[in-house]
Amino acid sequence: MTHDDSAIPFAFAGPPPQRDTVTGWQDYRRTRHSFPPAPRLDLATWRCMSPRRRTLHDLHRIATHANLPLLHTPMSRAVAKLLNGRIENNALKRNSTTCSGVMVTGGGYQGKTETVCEVAAAFEDRWLALLDYLNPEAKPGTRDLHAPVAYVQTPVTAKPKSTCKAILNYYGAPVYPRMDLPDLVRQVAVSLHDHGTKALLLDDITRLRMHRADDQDTLDLVRAFMSMNVTLVLIGVDIPKSGLLSEGRFDPRSKQVTLPASRHARVHGLEATQTERRFDLVELGRFSYDSAEEIATWTAHLVGVENELRLMDASEGMLTEGTMPEYLYQRTDGVVGLLERLVEDGCREAIASGRERLTEDLLESITIDLAGVPGRDPNAGEVPSVPRPSGNGPKKGAKQPRNTTFDDPGPNAQDAG
């Protein structure tokens, strides 16, 4: 086998795992750090490659920029610290008290879901290793799959029954046509217990609208899940303004929300006594640019992003020197998801044009369009407003000079030098 016929240096594993099934979650947990980034090559090495190897390497670089790792920020570290502590503490409880939950709020594209899933996956890694991958709560004579974490997306038009079915679908548990709500709730309780689930993540919880009776009943049911000895983690856009906390009391000092006991707990007998439900409310905010310290924090994040890029003319400080930090902030409002999208599209253009570096002029040609993004509900605030280019870059329709970055000057030019 020749060098050009060797295997592609990175694997196309198909679409990303669907985390809302137990199999998909386990695939995500096992593979979340496994993507191999493209090697760093200089222009001379790239030119020595055959055309096929150049194409493959460029494709690998594009894939690298499309799969940038999750970079920690001061905001995400605060969320991770609180969330990890709450899940671990509740998992170690041996009494029958209702487990306190966590609400993670913030704007769209600010990395809430990825941060929560990373914390939960890391907890599951440790929990499985601690128990030698065995479920101590499994019934004798059975081999129930051990699933310490369950990730479920709130249905767009959530109702109590559809929410229960979404949880049961995560486990692949049977759902029969004639099952009424009490049957579904009991089946959810059985599935959570039999699979040893310690954390139930409900994403996009702000799809619930409190002016709808079905949504009020769904939130009431969600609170009842806290009686099932799991840490309930609710993830949503701007939870304080969504109406979800309208029945609760918020303590600004402890950042805890206290909600009344659910009606479903009384109706379906999920617990013997009625207790208030407590949630820690934590915000995963965007970067700010109002002080020297905040600017330094933003710039430090840009350093981390820059270190992950694979552009062959990317000098140190490409994203952090001159007016570039301010420009990137103006284009993204400090939202990490928008920054990732801008950089990803910019790197693709830099490779395709042969410019091999990110500049303000190049990024001015990039428009971030989030319209029609699958899996996002604009009505729930999941799609943020996107700042437009400033218009200070090259004018549309202006003739651009021909790219000569990868031109081979030939041996005569070298002899002339």
CATH code, 99: 3.40.50.300
- Collapsing DSSP to helix, strand or coil, 186 comes out as helix
Same domain, 179 and 134: yes
The reply to whether 304 falls in a domain is yes
Place of tokens 């002080």: 291
Q: How far apart are CA 159 and CA 180, in angstroms?
A: 13
pTM of the model: 0.84
How many other CB atoms sit within 10 Å of the CB of residue 83?
Answer: 24
- In a 3-state reduction of DSSP, which class is residue 265? helix
Residues 98 and 139 in one domain: yes
Q: Are 166 and 254 part of one and the same domain? A: yes
| Same domain, residue pair 90 and 111 | yes
- Which residue range is the domain that position 157 belongs to? 74-283
Residues 369 and 294 in one domain: yes
- Buried-state track 182-207, b at ≥16 Cβ within 10 A, e below 16: eebbebbbebbbbbbbbbbbbbbbbb
Alpha carbon distance 97, 276 (integer Å): 11
pLDDT of residue 401: 40
Residue 13 is assigned to a structural domain of this protein: no
Q: Classify residue 407: in a domain, yes or no.
A: no
Count of domains forming the chain: 2
Q: Which residues of the chain have pLDDT under 70?
A: 1-14, 96-97, 139-144, 210-211, 248, 261-276, 372-381, 390-417
Q: What is the pLDDT of residue 411?
A: 39
Residue-wise pLDDT for 99-119, tens only, equals 889 999 999 899 999 999 999
pLDDT of residue 4: 47
346 and 225 within one domain:
no
Give a yes or no: residue 403 inside a domain. Answer: no
Residues 292, 244, single domain; the answer is no
Q: Taking the mean position of all CA atoms in its chain, how far away is CA 222?
A: 22
pLDDT of residue 140: 66
Identify whether residues 255 and 307 lie together within a single domain: no
Q: Tell me if 335 sits within 8 A of 109, measured CB to CB.
A: yes
